[in-house]
Amino acid sequence: MNSKLDGYLNFQQTTINLLARRQEVLASNIANADTPNYKARDFDFNAVLEKKLKSAANGSASANELGTDLLYRQVIQPSADGNTVDMDVERNLFAENSLRYETSVTMINGQVKDMLAVLQG
Amino acid sequence: MSSLLKVFDITGSAMISQSKRLNTVASNLANAETVAPPGGTPYKAKHVVFTATPLGDEDATGVTVERIQEDSTPPKMVYNPGDPSADANGFVSMANINVADEMVDMISASRSYQTNVEVMNAAKSLFLKTLTIAQ
């Protein structure tokens, strides 16, 4: 019944969920910056978002499941203790991800305002 | 479920681990000049060993202190025959602490702690922003 409403907000909802998940992955990397043999992880945001949007469009049940699409980061400067966390890279991505998250929240707020404008005339 | 709340668990575990590391550094620096009692062994430097710990799912990985290891380098032998703790040859055995190493460890630990606080604050502001959706 309300599938139009779902569809209207679905893109930003999926994006926000995925950005929150990425925030978690990047926080794990930063937390483990001093852990020997820890390998920094991340996922291909574009690919995973596309996959999630496709499965949401097909109406398959796996749309909300978190798949195992975590990858390992390429090492720029190898370290002696086997840790692959590069603080500059992680901090950069973390800041960028925060900005994207705030953008998505702003966008979804705009969508809600548009909808209210339609409803209230 | 909520990914952003997990960030608090992750950074929290890292902050606990880094403060333990800072504690061992403080013990080591405090004992830098410790002398062994006659016939005994001196204080040994202690180092934390971090290990990655999954928190729930594979996305969230925190840190814990796996164990605290004693430094295996031999004690510093200082020739000081006047010291009451000196052995028959006039040597005093002192704690095996390298003050420069400990200072480096201290700076590294406090920087990592600060970074995790910043990450936590970023997650907090995002979370609060999320609460304003549709208001």
Cα of first residue to Cα of last residue in chain A, in angstroms, is: 22
Give the pLDDT score at B62. Answer: 93
Quick check: helix, strand or coil at residue A58? coil
Question: Which amino acid, B77?
Answer: M
Residue of B nearest to A95 (CA): B122
Give every CB contact of residue A41 below 8 A, 6+ residues apart in sequence. A25, A28, A29, A70, A71, A72, A73, B61
B13 CB neighbours in chain A (<8 A) are 31
What ipTM did this prediction achieve? Answer: 0.85
Give the pLDDT score at B1. Answer: 52
Please answer yes or no on whether B3 and A21 come within 8 Å at the CB atom.
Answer: yes
Average pLDDT rounded to a whole number, residues B3-31: 93
At residue A67 the predicted structure's pLDDT band, cuts being 50, 70 and 90, is low
Backbone angles phi, psi at B66, to 5 degrees: -70, -45
Average pLDDT rounded to a whole number, residues B76-85: 87
Cβ–Cβ < 8 Å for B106, B5: no
Residue found by looking up tokens 């032998």 in the block = B77
Give the pLDDT score at B29. Answer: 94
Q: Kindly tell me if the per-residue pLDDT of B2 is higher than 80.
A: no
**How many Å apart are CA A119 and CA A76, to the nearest integer?**
53
The three-state (H, E, C) secondary structure of chain A, written as one string: CCHHHHHHHHHHHHHHHHHHHHHHHHHHHHHCCCCCCCCCEECCHHHHHHHHHHHHHCCCHHHHCCCCCCEECCCCCCCCCCCCCCHHHHHHHHHHHHHHHHHHHHHHHHHHHHHHHHHHC
Tokens, residue B42 = 């001196």
Please answer yes or no on whether A23 and B7 come within 8 Å at the CB atom.
Answer: yes
Cβ–Cβ < 8 Å for A105, B130: yes
Please answer yes or no on whether B49 and A36 come within 8 Å at the CB atom.
Answer: yes
B7 CB neighbours in chain A (<8 A) are 23-24, 27
Please answer yes or no on whether B119 and A94 come within 8 Å at the CB atom.
Answer: yes
Tokens, residue B10 = 């992750």
Cβ–Cβ < 8 Å for A29, A97: no
Give the pLDDT score at A55. Answer: 82
Please answer yes or no on whether B126 and A102 come within 8 Å at the CB atom.
Answer: yes
**How many Å apart are CA B37 and CA B19, to the nearest integer?**
30
Q: How far is CA A19 from the centre of its chain?
A: 2
- Per-residue pLDDT tens over the stretch A11-66: 999 999 999 999 999 999 999 999 999 999 999 999 989 988 888 777 665 545 55
Of A60-64, B92-96, B129-133, the one with minimum mean pLDDT is A60-64
Tokens, residue A82 = 């086997």
Per-domain residue ranges for chain A? 3-120
Give the pLDDT score at A104. Answer: 94
**How many Å apart are CA B72 and CA B81, to the nearest integer?**
26
H/E segment holding residue B78:
strand B76-79
Average pLDDT rounded to a whole number, residues B32-47: 86
Q: How far is CA B15 from the centre of its chain?
A: 10
H/E segment holding residue B104:
helix B99-131
